[in-house]
Amino acid sequence: MNAHEIIAAYQRAGQGQVFAFWERLDSASRADLLAQAAEIELAEIESLHRTLGVGGGAAALRLNELQPAPCTRLPGRGGNVTAWNRARAAGEAALRGGHVAAFTVAGGQGTRLGFDGPKGTFAITPVRGKSLFQVFAEKIAAAGRHYGRPLHWFILTSHANHEQTANYFSAHRFFNLDRNRVHFLRQGRMPAVDFSGKILLETIGGIALNPDGHGGSLRALHRSGALDLLKSEGVDTLSYFQVDNPLVRCIDPAFLGFHLLGDSEMSSKMVPKVYPEEKVGLFCLGAGQLGVVEYSDMPPAMQRETTLDGRLRFDAGNIAVHILAREFARRMATGGDGAALSFHRADKKISGVDAAGRPVEPERPNGIKFEMFVFDALSFARNPQLVETSRADEFSPVKNAEGVDSPRTAREDQLRQFARWFRAAGVGIETDATGLPSLPIEVSPLFGYDEPTFLEAWNKLSPPPVVSTGMYLE
C-alpha cells in the first residue's frame, strides 16, 4: 500500500489521529511512521477494541470448574523410575538423531531489573560473571557435543534489543557455537490504545508500540521462516525457555522423552508451589483442557485448599519451560483448525503526546497494552504433558534488581547447586543451613551441566583438584 492508501485505511478505521501531525514531519519521519502503521493489523485492533476484556486460554475458564492438573511426578516424589528411564532414552534418541532445537525468548523489556541492555547480556555466574546468554550457549554446546549433533538455537528478540543482541553474539564469536546455527527472530509489536480503543502516539511521528508478549514467539517462528528451516533440517521439536533463568536445563532428555512418548504437541515443566500465596501461574484443568491460571485470578481460599495428605491442591507452578512440536507452532501461528492465542490486556501508564503534540507523562494508567502468553497455547495442544522438576535444580529467575528473584538470589542458587554436585562427588564443602557454600565456586556447563555429567567429568580427573576459593572448573 502507498502512503495515501495507508492513511485512508487508518481514517476509515477511526484511527486517523495516528497521522494528526503528518504536516509537521520531514520525509524520513513520514517514512518511519508509515512503516510502523503498515505493521499493524487494523482489523485485529478493532476486534480487540470490541472485546477489551479479553482473556485467553485458562484465564477464560470458570474458576469453579477448575481441577488440579495431572502431572508426572519426579522419581522419589511418586514418579515411576522405569517411566523416567524410558523417557530419558527416548529424548536421548531424538537428540542423537538431530531432531531437537533450542528456543530462548528474550524479547521482554526487563523493566523490573532495570539493566541497560538486553537481559541476556547480564552477568550472572558467581565467579566468572558470565552472562545469561553465555550460560545457555555453553549448555547448548555441551548437549550438542554429548549427543554428537550440534543444535540450532533460536533467540526471540524485540525491535528494542535485536541489534544489540546480535552484536553481542558477534563480539563474543558466538561463544564458539557455529554461527550458522544461531538465529535471531524479531518478535512482532502491538500498539497501545486509550480506553476508547484509539491507537496512542509515543511522539508526533511514532506510534506507541510494544512487544506482543512471549506468545508472539509462535508467530515469529513462522514469519521468520524458522519453521521451514527446521523442517528442512529434520528438526521437529523445540525446547523453549526464558532468558532470565540461569539454572534452566536448556536441553533435558527426560522432559523431551515424556513429550515425544506422550505424542504431545506442547508440554510443560512444573515445580510445586512453596506457599499458598506464591506469585506463580498455576497449571490447572478446566473443561478437560490444560491451561495456566494467573495467581491474581485465583481467589485466596482456592490458593490455600489442601488435599487429604496436606499438600496444596493447586500446586503446579509454571516455570515457563516448555516443549513445542514444530507443526503445532505453525498451526498456532497460522490459525489452522481455529487455533489462535488471545491477547491479554494490561492497563498501563503510557508516555506519549497529547492531541496538541505536547509530551504526556501520565500519573495513572491512561491506556492498554496487549500481549499474548505462550502458555495459552496448551489448551489447543494434543496430549499436553506436565512434568515435575526440582526448583533447586532448575528455577531461579532474574526478575528484580533486589530481593526475591534477583541477581543475588540467582547467584546464590547457582552456588548451592555447584556445592550439591561437589558433595555428590564426595568433596566436603562447607555450607550454611540453606546449602550456600562459604567459598565462591563455579562449574562451567562445558565441564558438567547437571549432576550426572558433572560426576562423569569429575571422576575422570586424576588426581581430583583441591577445591579452593574462586575455583572455576572448565
Cα distance between residue 410 and residue 417, in whole Å: 11
Q: How far apart are CA 152 and CA 37, in angstroms?
A: 33
Beta-carbon contacts of residue 331 (< 8 Å; ≥ 6 apart): 337, 339, 380
**Quick one: 45 or 319, whose CB is closer to ligand UTP?**
319
Q: Which stretch binds ligand UTP (CB under 6 A): 4-12, 240-248, 265-273, 438-446?
A: 240-248
Question: Residues 120-159: x/- map of binding to ligand UTP (CB under 6 A)?
Answer: ------------------------------------x---
**Interacting residues of 45 by C-beta distance below 8 A, sequence separation 6+:** 13, 15, 191, 193, 197, 199
Q: CA 392 to CA 434: how far, in whole Å?
A: 11
Q: Is 410 in the site for ligand UTP (CB under 6 A)?
A: no
Contact between 112 and ligand UTP by CB under 6 A: the answer reads yes
End-to-end CA distance of the chain: 55
C-alpha dist (Å) from residue 451 to 56, 271, 424: 38, 19, 8
User: Of 194-213, which residues contact ligand UTP (CB under 6 A)?
Assistant: 211-213
Helices (H) and strands (E) in the chain, counts: 14, 20
CB of 190 to ligand UTP, least distance (A): 9
- Computed on alpha carbons and rounded to an integer, the radius of gyration of the chain in Å comes to 24
**Three-state secondary-structure class, residue 197:** coil
- Work out whether 109 is an interface residue with ligand UTP (CB under 6 A): yes
Residue nearest to ligand UTP (CB): 108
User: 4: part of which helix (H) or strand (E)?
Assistant: helix 3-12
**What part of residues 326-365 is at the interface with ligand UTP (CB under 6 A)?**
none
Q: Is residue 187 part of the contact set for ligand UTP (CB under 6 A)? A: yes
Task: Examine residue 463 and say whether the peptide bond preceding it is cis (omega within 30 degrees of 0).
Answer: yes
How far is the C-alpha of 246 from the C-alpha of 314, rounded, in Å? 26
Which helix (H) or strand (E) covers residue 185, if one does? Answer: strand 182-186
Residue 110 touches ligand UTP, criterion: CB under 6 A? yes
Candidates 236, 244, 393, 413: give the one binding ligand UTP (CB under 6 A).
244
Shortest separation between residue 127's beta carbon and ligand UTP, angstroms: 24
Size of the site for ligand UTP (CB under 6 A): 19
106 binds ligand UTP (CB under 6 A): yes
Binding-site member from 82, 111, 462, 468 for ligand UTP (CB under 6 A): 111
Nearest to 219 by CA among 39, 368, 10, 18: 39
Q: Is 108 in the site for ligand UTP (CB under 6 A)?
A: yes
- Least distance CB 217 / ligand UTP (angstroms): 6
Q: Which of 72, 242, 379, 414 binds ligand UTP (CB under 6 A)?
A: 242
Q: What is the smallest separation between the CB atom of 164 and ligand UTP, expressed in angstroms?
A: 13
CB neighbourhood size of 202 (10 A) = 17
Query: To the nearest whole angstrom, how small is the minimum distance from the Cβ of residue 288 to ligand UTP?
Result: 28
Enumerate binding residues for ligand UTP (CB under 6 A): 105-112, 156, 187, 211-214, 216, 242-244, 399
